[in-house]
Amino acid sequence: MFAVRDEDAALDVVQDAMLKLTEKYADKPPGELPMLFQRILQNTIHDHFRRQKVRNTWTTLLSAFGKGDEKDDDYDPLETLAAKSDSNATTDPAKQFEQAQIVGIIEQALVRLPPRQREAFLLRYWEELDVAEAAATMGCSEGSVKTHCSRAVHALAEMLQSKGLRL
C-alpha cells in the first residue's frame, strides 16, 4: 500500500506476486518462501510502475485528440477516429461471417493447386506483381507465368463453382 499509494492497485500487486510465487516456486522449502516473496513483490511493484508509465504516456498522447469542453469520463479518443472506407467495420456480422467462409473456401482451393500455378497466381493477383516481375521471381519466362496463371484461374473457378460459389 505504501509503495503504490492505491489500495486497489496494492491488492492487485500482492495477488500477482503470490500467483508468481506459487507458479514458479511451489517446490521450494517453506523457509525460503518469505525471501522469494519479497523479491517477487518488489519486481511486481516495479512492473506496476512501468505499466503505469506506459499507460500514462498513451493517455497523454491520445488526449491530444481532445475532449474539447466536454467533461465526459467515458470519453474514448479512438471513437473520434474515422474507420477506413475499405475496412469491414461498418458491415454487419452476417456479411462478415459470409466473407470469412468464402475466404476459407478460396484458401482451401489455393492449397489444392499445383505449386507453380499457386505461386504464379499469388504473385500476380495477391502480391500484384506484373508479369515480368513474377517471371523474375519464379525464375521462368513471362509466357510460363501467363500459362500458370491462366491454368490456376480456370482450376480455381472450377473448384469454386463445384462448391456453389460464383465470384
Query: pTM value?
Result: 0.45
Cα 153 versus chain centre, distance = 30
Cell of 44: 511486481
pLDDT for the residue 164? 82
Looking at this protein, which amino acid is placed at residue 91?
A: T
pLDDT for the residue 82? 62
pLDDT for the residue 107? 86
Scan for cell 475496412, then name that residue: 87
pLDDT for the residue 103? 84
Query: Do 75 and 117 fall within a single domain?
Result: no
Query: Do 73 and 103 fall within a single domain?
Result: no
In a domain, 88, yes or no: no
Cα 52 versus chain centre, distance = 23
Instruction: Please give the residue range of the domain that contains residue 130.
Output: 93-162
Query: Do 154 and 118 fall within a single domain?
Result: yes
Residues of the chain short of pLDDT 50, as ranges, are none
In a domain, 1, yes or no: no
Give the relative orientation of helices 7-25 and 33-63 as an angle to the nearest 10 degrees: 130
Q: Are 124 and 118 in contact (CB under 8 A)?
A: no
In a domain, 2, yes or no: no
Query: Do 98 and 67 fall within a single domain?
Result: no
CA angle 47, 50, 54 (to 5 degrees): 140
Query: Do 73 and 100 fall within a single domain?
Result: no
Mean residue pLDDT of the chain comes to 82
The rounded distance, in Å, linking the Cα atoms of 115 and 119 is 6
Query: Do 20 and 43 fall within a single domain?
Result: yes
